[in-house]
Structure 1
Amino acid sequence: MNNHENPSNSTKETAQTDNKNLMAIAQYLKDGQFGHKKSIPPLEQWHPKHCGAMDLKIKANGEWWHEGQLIKRQSLINLFSTVLWKEDDNFYLKTPVEQIEIQVEDEPLFVNQVDEIQIEGQTYLQLTTSTDDVIIVDEAHRIFMREFAGELRPYVQVRFGLNALIQRAAFMHLVQMGELTENAQGEAQLRLKSGNLLLQLDS
C-alpha cells in the first residue's frame, strides 16, 4: 500500500484553500464598510498572523490571475485592491485576522487617467488608477522613473509602500501637460509641476 500523498489531491486541496481564502476576504469586505470603491481600510492598524501564500498573481500588464484563470470581474479586482499590502518587498492581501502572500510581477496598481485640478488656486496633477484610486501628486505621492525588464517605466507613489505604474496612454497625456527639455548629458527630460512640487524625470 502506498502511503505517499497523491500530488493531484494535494494540488486540489491547495486550490480549494485558495478559493476559500479569496472568497472569505471578499465576503469580509462586502460585509464591512470597505466595499465603497474609494474606501481604504486602516491596514496599518492591523497586525494579523501570516497565513501562507495563495496562487494569485498580478502581472506586469495589469492582469490578475487566480489558479491559472484570468479574473475578469473588475468589481472583484477593485475590492481586493483595497487590502493590498507590502511588507519586506513582499505583497499580501491583508485583513484584521490574516495576511496572505500573493505574487506581483512589478506593481499591483495601474494609472489609466490623468487630469489637472484646481485646489485653492493652484493646479495639481490628479492620477486615477484602473481600480479607482485617486492620487494627487505631491511630496508624499511623487512620480518617478524605474527600470523593469530592461525598460524605463513611470510610476507614482500611492499608499503603504505601494506604487502604481503609469500606463503608456496616461503617460503621454502627462508629457503633453509638462515641458520636455534636455539634461546635462543631452538626454530628454520631462518637467512636471503639481502645486508647488516640481518634478524632473529623465527618460
Structure 2
Amino acid sequence: MSIESIEKQMQASAKIPPVHKWTPALSGDIDIRVARDGRWYHDGDLIKREKLVQLFASILWRENDEYFLVTPVEKWRIKVDEEPLLVVAAERQGEGSGAQIHFASSTGDSFLLDQQHRLFVDVNEAGEPRPVVRVRYELDALIHRNVYYQLVEWAEQSIDGVYGVWSAGEFFPLS
C-alpha cells in the first residue's frame, strides 16, 4: 500500500459521521457480528459488500464495552468478538524519532500513529502479543499479525532496553 492510497483513505476517514453527538435511545439488538479477523456477518452470513461494511464501520460506537450502530434516531447493539476494526497495512516514512507510521484498516480508516492514535500491546490467553491501536472515539483496531511483524522489523531499543517504534515524535513499546 502506497502513501498516496493511505492519504486517499485518510481523506475518506474525514467523512466519518459525528456519531459522538448522537444520543438516541437503544432500539434493540441486531444480529451483526464482527469476527476477530475483521469480517462482518449478518444473521450468520458474511457481508460481502465492502461499501456496506465501510458504512457500518463509520457509524460504529462503543459504550461501556458494548458496540452499537448509531444514527441520529436509532441505536442497535451488535456483537464484536475482539476489536471492531482491523489494521491491515502500515507504511513508515523516516527513521528514528523522526519517523511517521501510517496505518490503514480493512474498513477504510487511515491514520498516523501518534498521541491521539496510541498503540498498546497486551497478551492474549495463549501468551501471544495482542497489539491494538486507538482509531477514533473509543474504537480500537486489532493490528493484523503481518503488520505487527512489520512493526517488529522497524523496532528500536530505547535507553531502558524496551523495544518499540517511533512515530510522530512518540515512542510506542511493542511488549
Task: Tell me by how many angstroms 1:179 deviates.
Answer: 2.2
Q: Is the 8 A contact 2:152 2:174 kept in 1?
A: no
Task: Tell me by how many angstroms 1:190 deviates.
Answer: 2.9
Residue matched to 1:100: 76
Structure 1 counterpart of 2:169, one-letter code = N
TM-score, structure 1 length as denominator? 0.73
Residue matched to 1:167: 144
Distance, in Å, in 1 between the alignment partners of 2:46 and 2:12 is 21
Q: Is the 8 A contact 1:106 1:148 kept in 2?
A: no
Within the alignment, does 1:196 sit opposite 2:169 as a pair? yes
Q: Is the 8 A contact 1:37 1:79 kept in 2?
A: no
Of residues 189-198 and 145-154 in structure 1, the stretch that sits farther from structure 2 once superposed is 145-154
Task: Tell me by how many angstroms 1:60 deviates.
Answer: 0.9
Match of 1:158 among 130, 135, 141: 135
Per-residue CA deviation, residues 101-159 of structure 1 (Å, 9 max, x unaligned), is 000010010001101247xxx43111110111012111121111123443431110111
4+ long deviations beyond 2 Å: 146-152
Residue matched to 1:12: none
TM-score, structure 2 length as denominator? 0.83
Percent identical among aligned pairs is 35
Q: Is the 8 A contact 1:37 1:78 kept in 2?
A: no
Aligned counterparts, 1:119-198, within 5 A: 122-150=98-126, 151-179=128-156, 189-198=162-171
Residue matched to 1:64: 40
- C-alpha spacing 1:117/1:132, structure 2 compared with 1 (3 Å): farther
Q: Give the number of the structure whose alpha-carbon radius of gyration is greater.
A: 1
Residue matched to 1:40: 16
For this pair of structures, how many residues does the alignment match?
160
Gap runs ≥5 in structure 1: 1-35
SS across alignment from 1:171: helix
Per-residue CA deviation, residues 70-96 of structure 1 (Å, 9 max, x unaligned), is 111111111110001000110000000
Gap runs ≥5 in structure 2: 1-10
Task: Tell me by how many angstroms 1:37 deviates.
Answer: 4.2
Task: Tell me by how many angstroms 1:46 deviates.
Answer: 0.9
Per-residue CA deviation, residues 22-77 of structure 1 (Å, 9 max, x unaligned), is xxxxxxxxxxxxxx842101111111111010111101121211111111111111
